[in-house]
Amino acid sequence: MTHFISGRTPTTNAEAFERALVVTPGGVNSPVRAFRSVGGTPVFLASGHGPYVTDVEGTEYVDLVGQWGPALLGHAHPDVIAAAHAAVDRGLGFGAASTGEVELAELVLDRLTLTPADGPERRGIEKLRLVSTGTEATMTAIRLARGATGRPLLVKFAGHYHGHSDSLLSEAGSGIATLGIPGSAGITPETAAQTIVIPYNDEDALAEVFAAHGDRIAAVITEAAAANMGVVPPKPGFNRLLADTAHAHGALLIADEVMTGFRSTAAGWWGLEEAEGTPYDADLTTFGKIIGGGLPLAGLGGRAEILDLLAPLGPVYQAGTLSGNPVAVATGAAMLRGAGPEVYEHLPRVARTIADGLSSALSAEGVAHTVAWAGSQFSIFFRDTAPQNYAEAQAQDTWRFGPFFHAMLEHGVSLPPSVYEAWFVSAAHDDAAVERVLAAATPAARAAAAATPAL
């Protein structure tokens, strides 16, 4: 019989990965972490502070993954950690209602309420139900949409990622895009047939799908701005067209703000489009990542009459042993309280400096590329023009990314290990951190220039 307990924590990335491969599929607990698309041994992280993370070997990196979003204020922000400690000291969870859940919901609803000087109050959501992951939030949003409309079909966009529930993996972004697979095994044809996938930013495809199936469509689900196939923002007014088209046919719009929520602006992507004069009315909005401040927490919000269809008031069932966990809601609330206007001014500035520096270095080495933007989020595509949909996002020199990624890593910068992921900056990315990223730009650009496509 094999005994795994050696009593010793791995001290190198190689040893950690070797041991992980024995006990965990692919050595990781979420696929993109495995470095499959960039090659090499994944880095096992031991700690993070501000804009930096440190691996088990003691090597420090400027971090542009940001926990895939939650690290809005940087790693281990003192106020967030203090809130977590205080909550932990009161107990880890009760499986009963607790006041932190109310406070977090109030914070979120406040952020999603805008009072323009020259118009009526605008509310992005009226009620919020807390769950533990973005996957649960979107899964529940779909069930609610079906419950509210009594209709079966769901429309999603190719390249959009909404978590890993059965109905949402067809032609999805994130890990599905990274691994270059069309979807997932283990999903019944009956389930897959309930999801219609159309190209993003395509008004004609949208009109056609509603002309053909309009009275059977429960909802359109969209990333408020797509950022799981690289960053591909909606065309101006596209979200409004989605809302109007859905509503004209008695269907709902689900805006997935799991990534953009509390990042694009204090009020997420919804707030950005309100400010830019292209407001849209989503019926349901999903949140994750930042809302938990780094702990497992997510939520779905929307119009009260729809949210009230959830149990215990209504017939749509949803529940969770760990939902609204008191430590997670305290951490999330501390993060939201800590993210004032200065944070939302800092993020685009620092993102712009990093992107410009990398872009100049790539240009100097003659590497065809473009930087795509959605608010303060960006990603680099190895093609000349910014893509508008998944097919265009895939039509790039993806083989340049692996060498680029590894050169950055060697020079102390940790990027998302996939060409299809957005890069995350934080309020903690100061001049020193940015300088370290820019110092890595030229070697990384040279590595990208020297790359050759796999045969």
Ligand X SMILES: *Cc1c(COP(=O)(O)O)cnc(C)c1O
Does 127 qualify as catalytic in the annotation?
no
b/e for 191-225, b at 16 or more Cβ within 10 A? eeebbbbbbbbbeebbeebbeebbeebbbbbbbbb
Using CB under 6 A as the binding rule, whether residue 258 contacts ligand X is answered as yes
Does 161 qualify as catalytic in the annotation?
yes
Q: Which residues pair with 286 in a beta bridge?
A: 256, 300
What is the pattern of x (binds ligand X, CB under 6 A) and - over residues 142-161?
Answer: -------------------x
The nearer residue to ligand X, 135 or 264, going by C-beta atoms, is 135
The nearer residue to ligand X, 291 or 334, going by C-beta atoms, is 291
Footprint (CB under 6 A) of ligand X, residues 280-299: 288, 298
Using CB under 6 A as the binding rule, whether residue 256 contacts ligand X is answered as yes
Using CB under 6 A as the binding rule, whether residue 163 contacts ligand X is answered as yes
Footprint (CB under 6 A) of ligand X, residues 94-133: 133
Pair type for strands 195-198 and 52-55: unpaired
Catalytic position from the list 52, 55, 63, 256? 256
Q: Residue 381: is it exposed, middle or buried by C-beta count within 10 angstroms (0-12/13-18/19+)?
A: buried
Nearest C-alpha neighbor of 438 from the set 384, 357, 339: 357
The nearer residue to ligand X, 302 or 357, going by C-beta atoms, is 302
Does 156 qualify as catalytic in the annotation?
no
Rounded to 5 degrees, what are φ and ψ at 315? -85, -5
Q: How many residues bind ligand X (CB under 6 A)?
A: 14
Task: Tell me how far, at minimum, the Cβ of 153 lies from ligand X, in Å.
Answer: 20
What is the C-alpha separation between 183 and 156, in angstroms, rounded?
13
Yes or no: say if 144 and 284 are a contact pair by the CB < 8 Å rule: yes
Among residues 74, 134, 147, 375, which is the contact residue for ligand X, using CB under 6 A?
Answer: 134
What is the C-alpha separation between 138 and 123, in angstroms, rounded?
20
Nearest C-alpha neighbor of 400 from the set 370, 377, 373: 370
Angle between helices 326-338 and 99-111 (to 10 degrees): 30
Footprint (CB under 6 A) of ligand X, residues 197-236: 223, 228
The nearer residue to ligand X, 223 or 392, going by C-beta atoms, is 223
Token pair of 249 as six digits? 């046919």
Q: Which residue is nearest to ligand X (CB)?
A: 134
Footprint (CB under 6 A) of ligand X, residues 334-393: none
Task: Tell me how far, at minimum, the Cβ of 50 lies from ligand X, in Å.
Answer: 23
The one-letter amino acid code at 300 reads L
What is the C-alpha separation between 182 and 13, in angstroms, rounded?
31
Among residues 135, 170, 201, 398, which is the contact residue for ligand X, using CB under 6 A?
Answer: 135
The nearer residue to ligand X, 138 or 414, going by C-beta atoms, is 138
Q: Annotated catalytic sites, by residue?
A: 161, 256, 289
Binding site for ligand X (CB under 6 A): 133-135, 138, 161-163, 223, 228, 256, 258-259, 288, 298
